[in-house]
Chains A and B, each alone.
Chain A
Amino acid sequence: MHRLELIRIRKAYPSVVANDDVSLRVAAGEIHAVLGENGAGKSTLMKIIYGATQPDAGTIHWNGQQVAVASPAQARRLGISMVYQHFSLFDTLTAAENVWLGLDRQSTLAEVTARIESVARQYGLDVEPDRPVHTLSVGERQRLEILRALLTDPQLLILDEPTSVLTPQAVERLFEVLRQLSAQGCSILYISHKLHEIRALCSACTVLRGGRVTGECDPRQETDASLSRLMIGAEPPRLAHAERKPGPVRLKVHHLKLPREDSFGTDLDIDALEVRAGEILGVAGVSGNGQAELLRALSGEDLRASAGSIHLMEQNISNMPPGERRDQGLRFIPEDRLGRATVPSMSLVHNLMLTQAPKGPWLPLKTLRERTAQVIGRFAVKASGPGAAARSLSGGNLQKFIVGREISAQPRLLIVSQPTWGVDVGAAARIHAEILALRDAGCAVLLVSEELDELFALSDRLVVMAQGRLSPPLPRGEASVETIGAWMSGLWSLDTTQSSRPNGPSRQPVEALNASA
């Protein structure tokens, strides 16, 4: 008897069939991977299992009995728990209060706290129940989410892309907890598109593509290439990354200190950062460590940087508004595509205008329409035309449009954040190739990303961002996943002898303080 069995599930939305004839079997205590690209139908399938949406056809069997899961509350009563990719925690409440809120049954806060402590001990998930959530690191928040799920004594735990915000070391810790759970008989559905994680953790795998099952396998017997073929129908193209001698310094950041703008932000304290023409500098790190603040200061969205702290090609741009920086050749692709890089309800023509405004008081709509059509054509954007609203495009196509918009302006410095977040593999390959081509043409590129694979594939040099500070740069050849992973916790001073900070990154060297005064 299987713990969970889905038979021929189908779910259609107005524009897309999200799941078509999907069957899935999970044994008791099995760690079962659901692998697929963004948009392959993984999330819809999990929502059906968790009762958040109802299938159009097909049946669900739970411990051998056919069930209809009408709501998440019912799913929890059956013994199904889910940890979402985006945490659903209240920042201002403590860890225990957050757990307490989610429990169906009547119990006091003291009882909940005691249970948290006992379950946390049992699984080595150390979380302090009394701390407010906004003081917890991302890894701690995720442990709290998992703890919350475990308190309901689940027989099936669903994890949606759980490692996207974790350092490699935190991923290893998470895997140990999951293996322990599995050994105790709890089944786990592990949703991911990271092949090496699935091969390391899971004993069974169902691969989805375009809403259909394209393969079932034991991932321990597979290679990355064979799994990738099942997932996207082809192996990803290899990127040609030729060594190049970098040119003069295009971007120079020196003693950039910025206090946080809101209580949940990060104080920025950057000693030095240089990007040269013809090189890609990768910035690794778990998001929320000052990347957003750094990018706002570089793009000009935050103009509080002290005079002389940011130079573009020898020119002081610290207090220059975004439009003028753009005129100087600085182009920026933020990670939020809808609402920041584009206005969702406006057409692509109007969205082109956001960063390619022609001179003069009027809008030359005809020229803009032609330029939009060129970007659509050159970057293979799938859209109904230049008049299509930005929000009608899929994530990948909108990102291709934004990348195309900025690249077609022939930047001298391109700053790009999370260029392939939520983008399908085909579009991601295209975007990577464009960024590399730009570098080969002599543009300086600053790439901020959470995906180590992406950083290692593209960057010439790597720096790590942690707690609002930057590590010294490492050439790609000298960087390893282990080093970068350790540095993500801010521990670079332990490894580097050339570092000027013998006391660790949490303390400011005296020389730097004097110099910035």
Chain B
Amino acid sequence: MRRPDAWLSWRLEPRLQPSRTWSLGAPVLALAITVVLGSLLFAALGKDPVRGLQMFFWEPLRSTYALGELMVKATPLLLIALGLSLCFRSNVWNIGAEGQFVIGAVCAGGVALTADRTTGAWILPALLLAGVAGGMAWAGITALLRDRFHANEILVSLMLVYVADMVLSYLVYGPWKDPAGFNFPQTRTFEKVAQIPRLWSGTRMHIGLLIALFGAALMWVYLFRSRAGFAQQVGGLAPAAARYAGYSSRRALWVALLVSGGTAGLAGALEVAGPIGQLTPYVPAGYGFAAIIVAFVGRLHPVGVVFSAVLLSMFYIGGELAQSRMGLPKSITGVFQGLLLFSLLACDTLINQRLKRTRSVSQPPAIHAPREAA
């Protein structure tokens, strides 16, 4: 029987080689789809879509201060996404970068709080290293449980996010609360010497941006020019081939989690010692989760991640502006992030498949042949 849709059906066909064009084109197409769906969303909410899009794609670029804010938010996203790119390339699914970010912030905050007026400049590298160590230790729990007990790293790392939030809350509501802070759940503001130097006066942009960009360069060299980085990726792409080559899968697991935990912890340290300047319950801003989207939109590539971190940072700022100027809920940021990831996953289909229009096959209707008497 001819199917009624036979002459207009489209079909996905596997490609022989993954398409390079679509590997880069998919994020662009996904962004376009996000813009279209976002406009429809604004219209459905009774707002002017043009003004809505302006909040997201124009306002964050309009002034030096706005650009500075864009970079302030792009910095942690970039750092975390770099580590996650390595993780995902190694087929290790660390979903808990948010928790590693928080513990990194806590450890850095703990070091920063020891500083007084007489403390030297060494406190700055010390608190950054404490942040790295904290993030690594937190991710190390996941690595240990996966290595020893085959616990699923997705669940463990995600659950540890909530534990990390509790640790932070305990400290700021309890032992570390500022005695002169009118009982607000926050520590005292860090000493000047324990604050990250700004890059530009008049903005909040800080040297963390330079560290993150340097990290991107370092990650590129590791992934594409070093033997260790190559071995790491083979384990992610084809575990049997890694075993055949003799690359240790345990090593790959530990490296992936420690590196991504370390970058998330560093981002946390930069955040509390930079723009925030103290520990509060509002340190977790969702950067660790947004960085997952950053990593995928950036094709898990250190250079791509730089661009996608800026894009997701625009979504953050756009969401805040949409809230303050258009009276939209702040969760519009999350909606935009979700739309982008969702359309990207859909568009990624085109990397390994092509869309083809199937021709109609003119054939006579099928008949059930009468059975011959056996």
Task: Output the nearest chain B residue to A56 by Cβ-Cβ distance.
Answer: B361
Interface membership of A334, Cβ < 8 A: yes
Known pairs A78-B369, A345-B18, A350-B230; A340 contacts B241 (CB<8 A): yes
Interface membership of B218, Cβ < 8 A: no
Contact of A389 with B1 in the complex, beta carbons under 8 Å: no
Complex formed: what's the CA distance from A155 to B371 in Å? 9
Chain B residues 5-40 with CB under 8 Å of chain A are 13, 16-18
Task: Output the nearest chain A residue to B13 by Cβ-Cβ distance.
Answer: A14
Contact of B225 with A79 in the complex, beta carbons under 8 Å: no
Interface membership of A321, Cβ < 8 A: yes
Output the least CB separation between B28 and chain A (Å). Answer: 22
Number of interface residues of B (CB under 8 A): 34
Contact of B240 with A340 in the complex, beta carbons under 8 Å: yes
Interface membership of A210, Cβ < 8 A: no
Residues in B with CB closer than 8 Å to A65 are 367, 369
Interface membership of B50, Cβ < 8 A: no
Contact of A362 with B16 in the complex, beta carbons under 8 Å: no
Complex formed: what's the CA distance from A332 to B1 in Å? 52
Contact of B361 with A54 in the complex, beta carbons under 8 Å: yes
Interface membership of B45, Cβ < 8 A: no
Residues in B with CB closer than 8 Å to A59 are 363
Chain A residues 217-273 with CB under 8 Å of chain B are none
Interface membership of A360, Cβ < 8 A: yes
Complex formed: what's the CA distance from A188 to B227 in Å? 54
Interface membership of B237, Cβ < 8 A: yes
Neighbour of A301 across the interface among B230, B244, B361, B374, CB < 8 A = B244
Contact of A77 with B13 in the complex, beta carbons under 8 Å: no
Task: Output the nearest chain A residue to B222 by Cβ-Cβ distance.
Answer: A361
Q: Chain A contact residues (Cβ within 8 angstroms of B): what range?
A: 35 or more
Contact of B245 with A354 in the complex, beta carbons under 8 Å: yes
Known pairs A68-B363, A70-B366; A353 contacts B230 (CB<8 A): yes
Complex formed: what's the CA distance from A365 to B238 in Å? 21
Interface membership of B368, Cβ < 8 A: yes
Contact of A354 with B244 in the complex, beta carbons under 8 Å: yes
Interface membership of A109, Cβ < 8 A: no
Contact of B225 with A354 in the complex, beta carbons under 8 Å: no
Residues in B with CB closer than 8 Å to A70 are 1, 366
Interface membership of B327, Cβ < 8 A: no
**Bitwise interface map of B from 195 to 227 toward A, beta carbon under 8 Å scored 1, else 0:** 000000000000000000000000000001111
Complex formed: what's the CA distance from A79 to B372 in Å? 10
Contact of B18 with A185 in the complex, beta carbons under 8 Å: no
Output the least CB separation between B9 and chain A (Å). Answer: 12
Known pairs A56-B361, A353-B230, A362-B227; A78 contacts B240 (CB<8 A): no
Known: A54-B363, A339-B238, A340-B244. 7 other contacts (CB 8 A): A322-B245, A340-B240, A341-B244, A354-B241, A354-B245, A357-B227, A361-B227
Q: Name 16 interchain pairs, CB-CB below 8 A, sorted by A.
A: A63-B372, A66-B364, A68-B366, A69-B366, A70-B366, A300-B246, A322-B245, A332-B244, A339-B241, A340-B240, A342-B241, A344-B238, A353-B230, A355-B244, A363-B230, A389-B18
Instruction: Report which A residues bind B (CB closer than 8 A).
Output: 14-15, 54-56, 59, 62-63, 65-70, 74, 77-79, 153, 155, 184-185, 299-301, 321-324, 326, 332, 334, 336, 339-346, 350, 353-355, 357, 360-363, 365, 388-389, 391-392
